[in-house]
């Protein structure tokens, strides 16, 4: 089986490529925006940006399965005048152009790395997102991922190409970015954090666990035309997450408690309402569909994966 991985230099794509290269079962090719050093077992093809005009012909030649991890990712500090248009240009139009060319090239299956943001931004306590829930994306990134999913499913149905959608919850691991990196920086600086009494529950997925699910989706017959939610299976409060990250860095979590209403008010004064929601809100994900249909199980515990993330940050962070 010959596999093409897009977004091969990104956080998820690079990890998928490394795992596939370590356990080769056929040809392995990486699609990249610019020339990059790749493992010896990996053929690299420069395709440029993910766009409607991208010519995927050399990358798709002889390929059986595409793992599509390339995307315009969730942006912490958005600068685009029209964020939704920018996300659509890359994540929808660019993805569907790839899918059409893949179908024409005879690709059998496309595994699409989507996002739990397709389901929404928060859950009711004790009622996690499931694959049966109607999508309710809120932000431009989530909307673009849903539109890409729907477009891929239409192409797959018309052309006979199998589409597999994986929606990860927040992904963490060494070299993590975004909100988790911000937490790591706060902990390392020893900042007192008013997050000592956050009684929420949020789902996360370790990079190794996400990659293991994607690998199963590449080959498992039952994965065809299915949607899977990716999560570790152990949910954490923000307070507990900070404590475990601090433990991984051999630091003390300097936490104190403030009422939730006061915290939200304080965050809004600094223009951090969205971050406040993510720190205090609930977002739980039910991964049982993948466990039951694919007989998939996680390969690393939450404790070990968080400790690995924290240790890597402590080793590599600049003073």
pLDDT band at 62 (very low <50, low <70, confident <90, very high): very high
Residues designated as active site: 141
pLDDT at 76: 57
Q: What is the average per-residue pLDDT within 288-310?
A: 97
117: DSSP letter? G
Task: Give Rg (Cα) of the chain.
Answer: 20
Q: What share of the chain is helix, strand, coil (3-state, %, to 5)?
A: 45, 15, 40
CA distance 152 to 162: 9
In this predicted structure, which of 30-39, 54-63, 85-94, 163-172 has the lowest mean pLDDT?
30-39
Instruction: Give the burial string for 6-35 (b: 16+ CB within 10 Å, else e).
Output: bbbbbbbbbbbbebbbeeeeeebbbbbbee
Which of the four pLDDT bands, split at 50, 70 and 90, describes residue 35?
Answer: confident
Q: Residue 182, SS3?
A: helix
State the pLDDT confidence band at 77, using cuts at 50, 70 and 90. Answer: low
Q: Which of 167-171, 199-203, 272-276 has the lowest mean pLDDT?
A: 272-276
pTM: 0.94
pLDDT for 227 beyond 70: yes
pLDDT band (50, 70, 90) for residue 127: very high
**Lowest model confidence (mean pLDDT) among 37-46, 130-139, 177-186:** 37-46
Domains annotated for the chain, with CATH where assigned, are: 3-172+204-233+285-294 (3.40.50.720)
In this structure, the strands spanning 3-6 and 28-32 are parallel
Residue 270: what pLDDT? Answer: 65
Closest CA to 102 of 150, 163, 34, 149: 163
**274 pLDDT band (50/70/90 cuts)?**
confident
CB of 66 closer than 8 Å to CB of 17: no
Predicted pLDDT of residue 280:
84
Residue 102 Rama label (left phi>0; alpha psi -120 to 50; beta)? alpha
Mean pLDDT of the chain: 92
| pLDDT of res. 264 | 72
């Amino acid at each position: 089986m010959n596999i093409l991985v897009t977004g091969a230099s990104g956080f998820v794509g690079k990890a998928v490529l490394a795992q596939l290269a370590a356990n080769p079962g056929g040809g392995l090719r990486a699609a990249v925006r610019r020339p990059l050093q790749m493992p010896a077992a990996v053929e690299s093809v420069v395709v440029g940006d993910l766009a409607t005009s991208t010519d995927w012909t050399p990358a798709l030649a002889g390929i059986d399965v595409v793992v599509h991890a390339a995307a315009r990712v969730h942006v912490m500090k958005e600068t685009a005048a029209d964020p939704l248009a920018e996300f659509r240009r890359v994540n929808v139009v660019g993805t569907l152009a790839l899918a059409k060319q893949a179908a024409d090239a005879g690709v059998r299956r496309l595994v699409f790395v989507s996002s739990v943001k397709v389901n929404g931004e928060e859950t009711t306590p004790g009622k996690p997102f499931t694959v049966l829930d109607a999508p309710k994306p809120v932000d431009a990134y989530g909307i673009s991922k849903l539109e890409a999913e729907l477009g891929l499913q239409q192409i797959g149905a018309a052309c006979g190409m199998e589409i597999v959608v994986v929606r990860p919850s927040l992904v963490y691991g060494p070299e993590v970015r975004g909100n988790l990196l911000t937490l790591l920086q706060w902990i390392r600086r020893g900042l007192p954090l008013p997050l000592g009494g956050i009684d929420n529950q949020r789902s996360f997925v370790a990079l190794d666990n996400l990659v293991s699910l994607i690998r199963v989706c590449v080959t498992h017959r039952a994965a065809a035309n299915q949607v899977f939610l990716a999560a570790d299976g152990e949910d954490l409060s923000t307070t507990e997450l900070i404590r475990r990250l601090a433990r991984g860095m051999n630091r003390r979590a300097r936490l104190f408690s403030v009422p939730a209403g006061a915290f939200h008010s304080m965050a809004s004064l600094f223009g951090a309402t969205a971050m406040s929601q993510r720190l205090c809100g609930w977002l739980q994900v039910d991964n049982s569909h993948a466990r039951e249909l694919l007989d998939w199980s996680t390969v690393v515990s939450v404790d070990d994966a968080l400790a690995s993330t924290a240790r890597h940050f402590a080793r590599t962070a600049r003073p």
